[in-house]
Structure 1
Amino acid sequence: MNFTDIYLHLTERVGEEAFTQAVADAPQPFLVVVPDRLTEVAELLFRDERLFFDQLSCLTALDNGPEAGASVAGAPVGTMEILYHFNSIPYGHSMVLKVVLARNQEGEPLPEVPTLSHLWRTADWHEREAYDLLGIRFTGHPDLRRILLPTDWQGHPLRRDYVEQDLYHGIKVSYE
């Protein structure tokens, strides 16, 4: 199946309203999924016999910055994105899903998206990394805690507005 076939199959099952955009002419074609519909779409990718995406090879999260109203490479600033790269090993096709989330402001709860760890075990560690470094919560995750930084580390270092702390338990960590 090619990208168009997969997109048509998905929209027949979950409806076009589950997606805000389909980009077929990108180097890696992708679908932008409404965050509330992510679990439904992911379950279809995994369970549908015609699709059977049995591998989540990569989950990438990024911060488009805190300033509202501008854009970075076409993405609205004030948002965060998660890209999921799926493969079907038996059928030899691939798919990229993107979820765009509103970025939280200082003092607001972290952005949230449902976990996919119940479908793909690799999502467990990928989601923990995105939580640790960017501060995206994955609701329903079985063990959402830091994976790369100490549990008492302050902030999320891959955010564009991250300010490095000077000391950590008396150890100098900032070298300005």
Structure 2
Amino acid sequence: MSTTPDKQVTDDAPVAVAPEPGPVSQWLSQQGFEHELLEPDHVGVEQIAVEALFLPVIAAALKSHGFDYLQCQGGYDEGPGERLVCFYHLLAMAEVTEGGADQVREVRLKVFLSRDGQPSVPSLYGLFRGADWQERETFDMFGIQFEGHPHPKRLLMPEDWTGWPLRKDYVQPDFYEMQDAY
């Protein structure tokens, strides 16, 4: 039997092995927060899936646990007909800047959304002011609404633009001017 990091292969068929919970997942479990453990990313950053409804509570708990900096918020499309993903990359910066740690702790929260209807996530603007333009850009490119955001309008595209340009099922108009003509 041979073993790879994400699968165990037997003589019959490969068997998927669940990822081991990292320190953030273990802490969330101890605190009673439900979440789904995802595979770490390509550089080993712990990734955790949370339900949209619980995102603000879990993010607030993580902030109180030292994750005081929202490094990046964004979105991506898994493919035509697939889910949209909203992610938040959090860092524990104060530990490093105050000399209490040699390495930055980091975690990425992911919210998986159906593209049907109007996908929405509660805004983290009240918790991390840096989410302002990042959430607006994610709305502008993917059409994910951020409930409670103080300025929910397009950031990159004109206000009258139709569609969400970074969705993989987006059909680009032949000419930008044609869209304004209607």
Which protein has the bigger strand share?
Answer: 1
Q: When the two structures are superposed, what TM-score results if normalisation uses the length of structure 1?
A: 0.78
Q: Report the structure number with the largest CA radius of gyration.
A: 2
In structure 2, runs of 5+ residues without a counterpart are 1-20, 96-103
Cα pair 1:154 1:165 within 8 Å, conserved:
no
Q: CA deviation at 1:96?
A: 0.9
Q: Please give the alpha-carbon distance, in whole angstroms, between the structure 1 residues aligned to 2:131 and 2:70.
A: 7
Q: CA deviation at 1:167?
A: 3.4
TM alignment of 1:2-151, pairs within 5 A:
4-15=22-33, 18-24=34-40, 27=43, 28-46=45-63, 48=64, 51-67=65-81, 78-91=82-95, 92-104=104-116, 108=117, 110-151=118-159
Alignment size in residue pairs: 151
Cα pair 1:21 1:33 within 8 Å, conserved:
no
Q: Please give the alpha-carbon distance, in whole angstroms, between the structure 1 residues aligned to 2:145 and 2:41.
A: 31
Cα pair 1:66 1:103 within 8 Å, conserved:
no
Q: CA distance change for structure 1 residues 13 and 166 in 2, over 3 Å: closer, same or farther?
A: same
Q: Percent identity?
A: 35
Cα pair 1:21 1:31 within 8 Å, conserved:
yes
Matching residue's letter, 1:21: L
1:90 alignment partner, SS class: helix
In structure 1, runs of 5+ residues without a counterpart are 68-77
Q: CA deviation at 1:26?
A: 5.0
Q: Please give the alpha-carbon distance, in whole angstroms, between the structure 2 residues aligned to 1:143 and 1:14.
A: 33
